[in-house]
Structure 1
Amino acid sequence: MTPVSVEAQLETTGLKLSRAVLSGVYHPTMDLSCVNINKKYENFGLLKFYQSGISKFTLLDIFKNPKIIRQYLTGGNYLPYNTAEDSHFIWNAGSQIYELIDPDGNIYVMTAYTDMFLHSLKLKSLADLGSVMELPKGWSYRARRLEKLLAIESVAKLGNSTIRLADSYNNIYLRYPN
């Protein structure tokens, strides 16, 4: 399976796609994901996929950050983007979480990681990931234990969206709601 073959197969389904990225299998970091999975699956070889969200860049996004197009086309690491998605993630008190903090103080919690680009990456090594990341100036990474339950929910039908980003190894983060 390649990004080109996935794009070709998606064209037959009626789903609109601007690009497909090969990024490997993602492993969740939350304790519970209550994401609605009552969606139609698409078969790609022996694998099944469903659309979990739609990311769009508006003209206003481009005016605010002219580099957004180049960053998006080259992988978009550390580039926040809006996604209309249904999500409900729960991390229990006492759970270890992994966060990126941007220069403005916005905090992004890791929702999924992949070992596609850093083959040694495992759940137990996520706490040390910051020592090998290529963080932009002013960004930081931390692992911490939660003192209380953390729940983040978004419902696309209600007009909700989330702000996501990927790090230099394509691990996925969700910004804490303001």
Structure 2
Amino acid sequence: MNKSFVFLAISLVLTIGEACTQTPTQQTLIFEKSISNLRNQRYCEVLIGKRDWLKLEVRVFNTQGLNLCPEAQWSSLTKESIVKDYDASIAILNGPRYWMMDEIQAAGNTVNDVKETFGGIEMNLRATVKLSLLKQLMGSKNYTANEVARTTNFVYRAGSTVYELTSPAGDVYVMQSYSQIVNPSLNIKDLPVLSEQLKLPAGWTYRSRMLDQDLSLVANGVAYVLQDNLSNSYQRR
């Protein structure tokens, strides 16, 4: 299984909510739950996929709001044990990761009480990968956007620094989490000069900038997400 598929796990969670009005072409979303002070907070995910003939549903479980993914327990987890324990077709360990937004707000099916425990680490169900992504399972590519089913608002506060990839077509993707999957020593201090480690395709650019006003990335049922070659994840603006 290509590790680049792990970007499909884009996690969410949360405590108390507020309303957010979108563009006129979208319905008004009421975000039921939210959690703040997320920036640079550690989390991990487990993805469980069950195949039914040519169909595959991947459920994304996340530690956010429950624990900080204890390293000793996380490092002892294996994909093989999860596949066996949950009668799954595939299992993917996605982490550790660190959030880059300041707040997450969630609504709809993203808010639920479905929990599982993996190797003693409690996690909540946060997203489901769409079945149309089956073609990605056997070799998803970096710098290629995919759809993740969730209803969320990622909030980046004024004064925060954001890190962005821009495609040749002009689409801008904002980093939602950095990863220690490929480079275990990567940390937030490395992000301003991350381009030195990235293998950007022709026409792609990477930059950092400080926000002069809040930035909200709203996903009304679907988020478009990609990963770079270090497994850092980004959502399209």
TM-score (norm 1): 0.78
2:104 & 2:209 partners in 1: Cα distance? 20
Q: Which residue is 2:104 aligned to?
A: 33
Confirm or deny: 8 A CA contact 2:100 2:177 kept in the other structure.
yes
CA offsets 1:88-115 (integer angstroms, 9 cap, x no match): 2111111100111111110110111111
- Out of 109, 113, 119, the position equivalent to 2:178 is 113
Give 1:119 shift.
Answer: 2.2
Q: Does 1:173 align with 2:234?
A: yes
Confirm or deny: 8 A CA contact 2:112 2:125 kept in the other structure.
no
Q: Which residue is 1:54 aligned to?
A: 128
Q: Which residue is 1:14 aligned to?
A: none
2:131 & 2:198 partners in 1: Cα distance? 26
Query: Within 5 A, what are the aligned runs for 1:96-175?
Result: 96-155=161-220, 160-175=221-236
Aligned pair count?
A: 158
The structure in which a higher percent of residues are strand is: 2
Q: Does 1:5 align with 2:81?
A: yes
Give 1:133 shift.
Answer: 0.6
Query: Within 5 A, what are the aligned runs for 1:85-100?
Result: 85-100=150-165
TM-score (norm 2): 0.60
2:85 & 2:124 partners in 1: Cα distance? 13
Confirm or deny: 8 A CA contact 1:57 1:82 kept in the other structure.
no
Tell me which amino acid in the other structure corresponds to 2:197. Answer: V
Q: Which residue is 2:95 aligned to?
A: 24
- Out of 123, 138, 149, the position equivalent to 1:84 is 149
Other structure's SS at 1:52 match = strand
Identity of aligned residues (%): 31
What's the Cα RMSD here?
2.2
1:57 & 1:141 partners in 2: Cα distance? 30
Tell me which amino acid in the other structure corresponds to 1:121. Answer: L
Confirm or deny: 8 A CA contact 2:178 2:233 kept in the other structure.
yes
Greater relative CO, 1 or 2 (CA 8 Å, sep 6+) = 1
Query: Within 5 A, what are the aligned runs for 1:57-72?
Result: 58=132, 69=135, 72=137
Confirm or deny: 8 A CA contact 1:9 1:44 kept in the other structure.
no
Which consecutive residues of structure 1, in runs of 5 or more, have no partner in the other structure?
12-16, 62-67
